[in-house]
């Protein structure tokens, strides 16, 4: 990566949202997933994009360069994303991974600065069927148990067993992602508790219907049913939306197939549907 620098903005409740910024070109904001931070979630992808875009990697409150706050609700995370995006001062291309993809959708509904959006596998937990709810519940229980024992790396690994398949978990372990993300397990558990308590507004068709920017939902061909359902839900309710499948990848694509995902993002954000 070249030209690494930082960018900070303060929210209306006093949180500093910080990001590393890489590359040159039109701005592209990449929102992290629920587990890690902006850098460890996206650094493998960004190294393939910095020759074409200025890539912003903001972290959620309490992660990375961002300061902490007890309010981790989805509505607040969306507001943080909007505040960061609008601080850039020019039109922005936007993506996000999993939970970050849902935050990106919320931000696009609330900011005209987002000119094009390509979320990767939005995690709309409200679409989980009973079997998936049981899997999620078991993963969270085990994550909490391991965190209480002080083994945060194992706790992160246990949680990833829900969205990832076994091979993807092994890759995440091998590249050090589970260890790096382990420090955020307490924040992850608190975040998910607040999602359960306060709900996820991105499941609301009215919010999705307010998005005016063109949206291409990226979906791995080898992903789990819940993420396919999330992609279809978005495409059914955003006025200018479509789904594009990426062959041979699953939910962990930012870790397992970063160059493939970067190529899809670069093509979309320079295409006619996502104007440059």
pLDDT in tens, 48-83: 999 999 999 999 999 999 999 999 999 999 999 999
Q: How many domains does the chain have?
A: 2
Reply yes or no on whether the pLDDT at 272 is more than 70.
no
Q: Is residue 136 part of a domain?
A: yes
Reply yes or no on whether the pLDDT at 205 is more than 80.
yes
Reply yes or no on whether the pLDDT at 103 is more than 80.
yes
The pLDDT of residue 275 is 47
What is the three-class DSSP state of 153?
Answer: helix
Would strands 5-10 and 16-22 be described as parallel, antiparallel, or unpaired?
A: antiparallel
Report the mean per-residue pLDDT for the chain.
95
Question: Do 85 and 180 sit in the same domain of this protein?
Answer: no
Q: Tell how far CA 155 is from the center of its chain.
A: 20
Reply yes or no on whether the pLDDT at 243 is more than 90.
yes
Give mean pLDDT, residues 142-154. Answer: 98
89 within 8 A of 27, measured Cβ to Cβ: no
Write out the residue range of the structural domain in which residue 122 sits: 5-127+199-269
Give mean pLDDT, residues 213-242. Answer: 96
Question: Do 74 and 142 sit in the same domain of this protein?
Answer: no
Short-list 21, 7, 159, CA closest to 98: 159
Give mean pLDDT, residues 262-266. Answer: 98
2 pLDDT band (50/70/90 cuts)? low
Reply yes or no on whether the pLDDT at 192 is more than 70.
yes
Reply yes or no on whether the pLDDT at 200 is more than 90.
no
Distance CA 226, CA 27 (A): 30
Boundary (domain end) residue, out of 161, 188, 215: 188
Q: Is residue 24 part of a domain?
A: yes
Question: Do 37 and 109 sit in the same domain of this protein?
Answer: yes
Q: Is residue 274 part of a domain?
A: no
Distance CA 228, CA 158 (A): 22
Question: Do 89 and 52 sit in the same domain of this protein?
Answer: yes
273 pLDDT band (50/70/90 cuts)? low
Q: Is residue 193 part of a domain?
A: no
The pLDDT of residue 201 is 85
Question: Do 96 and 120 sit in the same domain of this protein?
Answer: yes
Give mean pLDDT, residues 203-218. Answer: 94
Domain containing residue 117: CATH number? 3.40.50.1820
The pLDDT of residue 198 is 81
In the chain, pLDDT over 70 holds for what percent of residues?
97
Give mean pLDDT, residues 185-202. Answer: 90
The pLDDT of residue 77 is 95
Distance CA 80, CA 107 (A): 9
Would strands 215-220 and 241-246 be described as parallel, antiparallel, or unpaired?
A: parallel
Percentages of the chain per state (helix, strand, coil), in multiples of 5: 50, 15, 35
Question: Do 137 and 111 sit in the same domain of this protein?
Answer: no
Question: Do 160 and 48 sit in the same domain of this protein?
Answer: no
Question: Do 42 and 102 sit in the same domain of this protein?
Answer: yes
Distance CA 54, CA 24 (A): 4
Q: Longest Cα pair distance anywhere in the chain, in angstroms?
A: 52
Edge-first strand order for the sheet with 114-117 is 5-10, 16-22, 54-58, 27-31, 92-96, 114-117, 215-220, 241-246
Q: Is residue 37 part of a domain?
A: yes
The pLDDT of residue 274 is 55
Short-list 154, 182, 210, 177, CA closest to 97: 177
Reply yes or no on whether the pLDDT at 276 is more than 60.
no
Give this prediction's pTM: 0.96
Burial class of residue 132 (count of CB atoms within 10 Å of its CB; 0-12, 13-18, 19+): middle
């Amino acid at each position: 990566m070249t030209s690494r620098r930082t960018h900070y903005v303060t929210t209306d409740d006093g949180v500093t949202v910080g990001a590393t910024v890489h590359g040159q070109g039109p701005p592209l904001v990449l929102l992290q997933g629920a587990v890690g931070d902006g850098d460890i979630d996206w650094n493998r992808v960004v190294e393939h994009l910095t020759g074409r875009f200025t890539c912003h990697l903001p972290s959620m409150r309490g992660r990375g360069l961002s300061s902490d706050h007890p309010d981790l609700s989805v509505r607040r995370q969306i507001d943080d994303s909007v505040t960061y995006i609008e601080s850039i001062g020019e039109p922005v291309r936007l993506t996000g991974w999993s939970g970050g993809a849902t935050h990106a959708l919320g931000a696009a509904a609330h900011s005209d600065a987002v000119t094009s959006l390509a979320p990767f596998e939005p995690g709309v937990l409200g679409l989980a069927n009973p079997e998936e709810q049981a899997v999620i519940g078991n993963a969270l229980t085990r994550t909490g148990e391991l965190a209480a024992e002080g083994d945060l790396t194992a706790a992160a690994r246990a949680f990833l067993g829900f969205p990832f398949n076994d091979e993807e978990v092994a890759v995440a372990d091998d590249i050090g992602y589970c260890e790096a993300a382990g420090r955020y397990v307490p924040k992850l558990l608190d975040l998910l508790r607040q999602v359960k308590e306060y709900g996820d507004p991105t499941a609301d068709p009215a919010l999705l219907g307010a998005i005016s920017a063109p949206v291409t939902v990226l979906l791995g061909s080898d992903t789990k049913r819940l993420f396919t359902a999330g992609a279809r839900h978005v495409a059914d309710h955003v006025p200018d939306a479509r789904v594009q499948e990426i062959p041979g990848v699953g939910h962990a694509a930012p870790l397992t197939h970063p160059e493939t995902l970067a190529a899809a993002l670069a093509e979309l954000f320079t295409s006619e549907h996502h104007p440059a």
